[in-house]
Chains A and B, each alone.
Chain A
């Protein structure tokens, strides 16, 4: 795979911010961004400006009854979430704590695009399912919680060779649309992150780490757009 240097990324940073790159170009750019905080900041600053430009956009009168239909749809969405055993009627993304206290929408959006391209670029971890668990004494466990603090599962980091992260979210299959795209994101203390595609047909995943188990900072489940669905944090 082609890799970019910072100077090359800076050249196309406006294209990234405006979503103008497609296919392999975007994948290569996002692979660089995944490991470069300085370039992420550059893209984020340009993306913020791009949003401001939209304030000058055209206005138009929507069709009659638009507002009623929006409110009805919101009511439906809220009701659907209320019926969910995991979401409990509130958006799971209403989270303001720890590392994600003030998530950068654009950075998450980049993460989402990364997710779309990740299969070809940065996925480094294959999901393993095994019953040969190491001794419990080497494991650290944290609760996976939604944005409203509801505990929906657990994340377990185990030392070993390789170290692993296991995530268990009972009720997952009933809580998310069948066949939807979700990602397991493992963020390290230094801000690096690996992402692994997870399906909706099982409730437990295990991922090998290329790093020491003590380096794990946050384990998150992201939806197909890169938004945090639930997460667990580990003391560094």
Chain B
């Protein structure tokens, strides 16, 4: 019964249907929590962020527009925003003992075989692979790891202006390749 599309499942979630909510959370919890953890890096904070993301998705359900993107991308966008707010709200990047900052030399596209199992991620992953390596790494650092350009600059030992340029070029190139969403 629950082999339904993400959009249909989300419609049930938005309406407050308990069974739909159960399956919606089950379907997306690994991605939401995974992204939250990548950005805030502290498991207890990541859970708080992930919970808040699901609550906001319900609360702001009407703002979802499938013409502009998938449910997963929308939900993960919320997650990223909540996670960044959490990190910035503390005024510093948490660096817990035993939980090192992410190694930005590790490209998730190289190690995450799971991406290939996510149909919705294959296209963007392929496009990201087409980017020059420095541009891709800079873009990944600021999107998936939630880092500032200054942090990337310090970790990579390159000028902040160079990081900004790489990020801007990469995002524009991806947009041009993907085609602009409906404005």
Residues of A within 8 A of B (CB): 11-12, 14-15, 17-20, 41, 44-63, 66-67, 69-71, 73-74, 77-78, 90-91, 93-96, 102-105, 108-109, 147, 227
Contacting pair B33 A60 (CB below 8 A): yes
A54 to B55, CA, bound (A): 19
* B22 contacts chain A at the CB level, 8 A cutoff: yes
Contacting pair A54 B50 (CB below 8 A): no
Instruction: For A70, list chain B residues within 8 Å (CB).
Output: 25, 29, 50-51, 54-55
Q: Which of A48, A57, A63 contacts B76 (CB 8 A)?
A: A57
Contacting pair A55 B168 (CB below 8 A): no
Q: Which of A12, A50, A58, A109 contacts B108 (CB 8 A)?
A: A58
Nearest Cβ in chain A — how far from B60, in angstroms?
A: 5
* B42 contacts chain A at the CB level, 8 A cutoff: no
Nearest Cβ in chain B — how far from A177, in angstroms?
A: 13
* B164 contacts chain A at the CB level, 8 A cutoff: yes
Task: Knowing A41-B183, A52-B178, A63-B47, say if A74 contacts B63 (CB, 8 Å).
Answer: no
Size of the chain B interface, CB-CB below 8 angstroms = 72
Can you list the 8 inter-chain pairs with the closest CB atoms, starting with the nearest? Answer: A54-B76, A60-B34, A48-B181, A41-B183, A62-B33, A51-B77, A55-B121, A45-B180
Residues of B within 8 A of A (CB): 14, 16, 18, 21-22, 25-26, 29-31, 33-35, 37-38, 43, 46-47, 50-51, 54-55, 58-65, 67-70, 72-74, 76-77, 79-81, 84, 108-109, 112, 114-115, 118, 120-121, 124-125, 128, 139-140, 142-144, 148-149, 164, 167-168, 171-172, 174-175, 178, 180-181, 183
A48 to B121, CA, bound (A): 14
